[in-house]
């Protein structure tokens, strides 16, 4: 439920200051600095920019203006923009749609509105590939689905039309969920919301980006990625041919080695990566330091030896270890589920503070849709109890309840 905004909120859209403070004078001063630095400043940032431009690897963002004559290299979609549809259709009322129920090619997040698929909003619910769905509306490349059995508003949402399983025969190709594994982007590729999406809705992944494969459909794989500027909740599909097997020497994303320093352009140490978040590096430059950046616009330089590849699996030393070598701590200190500690701090049913095993909390992950369905059916509506341990991960001190 959206929290109601206070009545004074709208006043914050007024300019905070009485007078305009960023004027043409500011703009001209900046332009003058740019001109000066282009004339041969020793500023390291400008030298880096010049090197990058000369090597034809420079990719600098600009606002598109009608008068710009430079040929665009790529079209990058902004999350603020409406979704790209290969064919624009107006929303069709339900009675003009095929009433045939459909299953889905795989599990997919259904959203409140088609726009949400591209934005920062999480799915409204996860549509079950083994349930029958009715189409209640269509809009471009999206359809609104509702379960045939027990339809309700909570399970009404939009998914890409592609997910409809049009061929319900035994041999129909479905998405295969796989135990996660990492690969590396080998050739530049735009990710898509679904395989064969005519115009990719995602942004471009560059060589060296680490992807975590979670599913496969013909020659496509569904991946998780690390984002640094803004979360992206839609599915991401890339052709497997654009990826190469995991090779730490090719990875450009990972973590900073615990205790390592980050430096500014002048070589001064500037502190830790905020939140111990994953980092990305640019290994183009020679020398013993990489330029790096992290979430929140944080950037600097690190020593080559302090880069630890793979942003999905590395124990970055944030959590202490017990005598058995298990990490323990609070899940809220983890930047992703994959970096949660082995023992997660929790309160037992009687308020006892202890730890639960992450693997107990996550439970067994289904390996097939049939398995998932069976697990869902067998799930007890009252939830389940798991042991609450002391920090040693062995002494049971209570019970932790997981709701159904």
**Footprint (CB under 8 A) of another protein, residues 19-58:** 19-22, 26-27, 29-31, 33-34, 37, 45-46, 48-49, 52-53, 56-58
CB–CB of 157/112 below 8 Å?
yes
Binding status of residue 17 toward another protein by CB under 8 A:
yes
Q: Which residue stretch of 17-25, 124-132, 147-155, 353-361 sits at the interface with another protein (rule: CB under 8 A)? A: 17-25
Helix (H, G, I), strand (E, B) or coil at 41: coil
Structure tokens at 186: 């080998």
CA 82 to CA 199: how far, in whole Å? 13
**Residues between 227 and 286 that touch another protein (CB under 8 A):** 227-232, 264, 268, 270-271, 274-275, 277, 282
User: What are the C-alpha distances in Å from 193 to residues 99, 110, 141, 142, 186?
Assistant: 25, 12, 11, 11, 20
CA 204 to CA 192: how far, in whole Å? 10
Q: Which residue stretch of 289-297, 309-317, 357-365, 392-400 sits at the interface with another protein (rule: CB under 8 A)? A: 289-297
Binding status of residue 381 toward another protein by CB under 8 A:
no
**Residues between 62 and 91 that touch another protein (CB under 8 A):** 62-68, 70-81
Binding status of residue 402 toward another protein by CB under 8 A:
no
CA 313 to CA 248: how far, in whole Å? 12
Nearer to another protein, 64 or 350 (CB): 64
CB of 381 to another protein, least distance (A): 27
CB–CB of 170/361 below 8 Å?
no
Binding status of residue 60 toward another protein by CB under 8 A:
yes
**Residues between 338 and 357 that touch another protein (CB under 8 A):** none
**Residues between 156 and 215 that touch another protein (CB under 8 A):** 203-204, 206
Nearest to 162 by CA among 79, 74, 222, 227: 222
Nearest to 386 by CA among 397, 399, 395: 399
Q: What is the helix (H) or strand (E) element at residue 139, kind and residue range?
A: strand 133-139
Q: What does the per-residue mask of binding to another protein show for 91-130, with x meaning CB under 8 A?
A: -----------------------------xxx--------
CB–CB of 334/341 below 8 Å?
yes
Q: What does the per-residue mask of binding to another protein show for 300-339, with x meaning CB under 8 A?
A: --------------------------------x--x----
């Amino acid at each position: 439920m959206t929290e109601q905004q206070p009545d004074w909120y709208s006043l914050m859209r007024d300019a905070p200051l009485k007078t305009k403070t960023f004027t043409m004078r500011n703009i001209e001063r900046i332009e003058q600095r740019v001109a000066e630095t282009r004339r041969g400043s020793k500023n390291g940032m400008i030298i880096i920019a010049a090197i990058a431009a000369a090597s034809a690897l420079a990719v600098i963002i600009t606002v598109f203006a009608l008068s710009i004559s430079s040929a665009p290299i790529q079209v990058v979609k902004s999350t603020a923009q409406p979704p790209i549809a290969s064919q624009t259709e107006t929303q069709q009322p339900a009675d003009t749609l095929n009433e045939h129920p459909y299953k889905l090619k795989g599990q997919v997040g259904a959203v409140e509105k088609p726009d949400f698929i591209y934005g920062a909003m999480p799915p409204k619910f996860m549509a079950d590939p083994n349930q029958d769905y009715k189409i209640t509306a269509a809009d471009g490349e999206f359809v609104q689905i509702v379960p045939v059995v027990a339809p309700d508003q909570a399970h009404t949402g939009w998914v890409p039309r592609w997910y409809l399983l049009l061929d319900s025969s035994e041999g129909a190709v479905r998405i295969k969920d796989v135990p996660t594994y990492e690969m590396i982007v080998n050739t530049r590729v735009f990710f898509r919301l679904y395989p064969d999406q005519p115009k990719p809705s995602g942004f471009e992944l560059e060589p060296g980006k680490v992807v975590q494969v979670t599913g496969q459909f013909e020659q496509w794989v569904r991946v998780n990625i690390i984002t640094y500027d803004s979360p992206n909740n839609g599915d991401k599909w890339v052709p497997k041919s654009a990826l190469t097997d995991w090779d730490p020497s090719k990875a450009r994303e990972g973590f900073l080695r615990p205790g390592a320093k980050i430096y500014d352009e002048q070589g001064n140490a500037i502190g830790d990566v905020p939140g111990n978040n994953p980092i990305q590096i640019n290994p183009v430059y020679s020398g013993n330091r990489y330029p790096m950046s992290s979430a929140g616009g944080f950037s600097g330089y690190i020593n080559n030896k302090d880069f630890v590849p793979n942003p999905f699996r590395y124990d970055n030393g944030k959590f202490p270890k017990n005598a058995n070598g298990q990490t323990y701590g609070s899940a809220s200190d983890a930047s992703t589920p994959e970096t949660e500690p082995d023992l997660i701090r929790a309160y037992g049913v009687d308020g006892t503070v202890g730890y639960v095993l992450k693997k107990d909390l996550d439970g067994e992950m289904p390996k097939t849709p049939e398995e998932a369905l069976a697990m869902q059916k067998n799930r007890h509506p009252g939830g389940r109890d798991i042991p609450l341990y002391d920090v040693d991960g062995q002494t049971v001190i209570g019970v932790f309840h997981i709701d159904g």
